[in-house]
Structure 1
Amino acid sequence: MQQIARSVALAFNNLPRPHRVMLGSLTVLTLAVAVWRPYVYHPNTAPIVKTIELEKNEIRSLLPEASEPIDQAPQEEEAIPQDELDDKADGDAGVHEYVVSTGDTLSSVLNQYGIDMGDISQLSAADKDLRNLKIGQQLSWTLNADGDLQQLTWEMSRRETRTYDRTANGFKMSSEMQEGDWVNSVLKGTVGASFVSSARDAGLTSAEISAVIKAMQWQMDLRKLKKGDEFSVLMSREMLEGKREQSQLLGVRLRSDGKDYYAIRAEDGKFYDRNGTGLAKGFLRFPTSRQFRVSSNFNPRRLNPVTGRVAPHRGVDFAMPQGTPVLAVGDGEVVQAKRSGAAGYYVAIRHGRTYTTRYMHLRKLLVKPGQKIKRGDRIALSGNTGRSTGPHLHYEVWINQQAVNPLTAKLPRTEGLTGSDRRDYLAQVKDVVPQLQID
């Protein structure tokens, strides 16, 4: 046998090299076919079943959310810069406010802030009148540490306010009737060190100053007022036994560099110029020229799939190719444009004093802090920077420093009064403007 093997090896070695390569390849192929045993499925054979027990945290790790980056609270360097115009009135910290407008329902208003539908249903059960909100009415609410609705206040009219407090069994309603007399007051002043300090000197409260700032936000950056600029404010104040209980802004006039700016309240609770044209600037719904797939929704109660703790997702993620142009959704000023930890390259834009938008995980920035931009301007290219599991754009909308759902939020739009509403408003203007005289 050994002699046969030596003879075969000698004959193989005496072959030309191309022949040896070909013969070797055929030998390997023949052996591979000889040992190959394809798997044949036999339907009559019982399948092998194995049960695997998972811990609770392991089950969460299998959820779709586990493939998404879990947002953390905004890092200090990611926080939106604040100034004296952002100061809340005493007792107003943590209170969210909303003025009812056309088409609003209790559900549409609260749902955009991520308030649980179960809470909304319990509110409606506590008071069926909440199903019939009227334009111009104001809602305000507070949340507990877990983001659950704690209390809701509904200002039905100047005379009646209803409050709904959380209880063990839902919400309990209480009603308060105001008995004071409403008196109009005109407060005038000249800007000195700042508008806020000058307004206080003129007799306006912190809440009234905040109302003026919001009314004028689309026409004038009150931080830019110069020394010597003048203002006149018409407030309607409720007086009870000689004390001021509450107030409502009716009209504002600012004179800066010899030019006058007006904001006058209409019956719908919004402010317009003297011709009935809306002051708010319109917004785009999406920050891109076309709509992309939502890979992760807004969820202020999202659980970390591993720890089980609340890790809010304060925006919406759009899956898109890197390098997609990102657009500003509205006119505003860039307040942040840099790289910062988990957010990667990101941009924050302030629109007036009420709205802020943020764009994260960008590849390239096209704007700088302090830059004025218009709706539709390119501000960046999308990317995959920071803590990200794939190319996408994380987009946030904040209203009065509270994150809302970008897909359902009631965003400003350019509009004006028409028909009988405009006629009624112009009649009101004739009454208000003469009271806003500036000496």
Structure 2
Amino acid sequence: MKNIYLVAALVVSVFLWSCGKDKKESKAPKEEVKIKKTPPQIKEYGFLLNDYEVVRDTIRLGDSFGGIMDANGVTRGEVFRISEKVKDTFNPARIVAGKPYTILKSKDTSATVKAFIYENDRINYTVVDLADSIRAYRAKKPVTIKRKVASGVITSSLSGAMDNEGLSILLADKIADIYRWKIDFFKIQKGDQFKLIYNEKYINDTVYAGVENIEAAVLTHYKNPYYAFEFGKDSVSGFAKYYDEEANSLQSFFLKAPLKFSRISSRYTKRRFHPVQKRWKAHKGTDYAAPTGTPIWSTADGVVIKSSYTRGNGNYVKVRHNDKYTTQYLHMSKRNAKVGQRVKQGDVIGYVGSTGLATGPHVCYRFWVHGRQVDPYKQNLPSSEPLKEELKPDYFLHIEDLRKQLEEIPFKKLPPKIL
């Protein structure tokens, strides 16, 4: 009997010991299993960049396509073969300093160049693909269009008002293009106001890439509202056309000025003291002061009848628009039009300078009506072709909501201290 109790006690002891051992082992820290994180996939230009060694740089003065490729292990003979294959899509001789480029190389020890990507601008790029066979193609970065509204008030200039509101200076250029037939921006007034509905472009939804278009705008000038609504495109130029709230075209036969953003230094007058000749005489033109090299536009369609140089006029161009109107542009640093050349409204016919009898860089703009020199700002000049009658119902329907949206945007006012 004693033996039976002894065996039972021994079994219980072994059982209790093994349980305690299991508990101790269970309390021992477990070994951590490290999970290798997969790097995020980076896709750009249509390539998965994770698969390549990526070289990014910018074209510098003196750089050549051959030199760049040679520095990345491509032989001169191979560069010549690539250039011949892709020249219809990508001209290696025309790479421009300041443009970014990306080279994709294999990740093995050979580091073979698989692609050369050249950024033509912020959106468009050209790929020279060398992976399987040599080819080149153009593509665009993904662009998102974002609709926005804005308002502002003029304190000194349109561009200054944009800056005050934290808006892109590109908007000022767009507005000036829309209203250049209706508003003389050299006479812009402190207190003039604007409201806009417009669209901006963003690359990959985040990087600003410029203004897409202005859908609608209203600009108050001398307390008069000037509306502009985008509707259709010009059949020749492809540019957007704008009309006011009554379907009148904002485009006019003549531009209000022959250049962009400057100041009038001297107006048309029958008596002015000439700063060079030092005597009183008539000044039958309007002087626009601007930096040397500023482009000068033809203010209307026409034919160049003179492109020459004289001691008084300096370099000048004269354009006949029809049997009634002729314009002339004086003191150019360089002429950009030849006699007999047909020019369109807005074409660059020369550049601001100070040739001839001039004390500083400017363009003297002269205007003839039936052969008599007049002040263009006192003429009732013709407008361009109006919107066709059959399109007006669609137009008024189109602008109905846009006008309501404009009305909902509050006008900005001058701060009391500036009044």
TM-score (normalizing by structure 1):
0.37
TM-score (normalizing by structure 2):
0.39
Name the structure, 1 or 2, with higher relative contact order (CA <8 Å, separation 6+): 1
Structure with the higher fraction of residues in strand conformation: 2
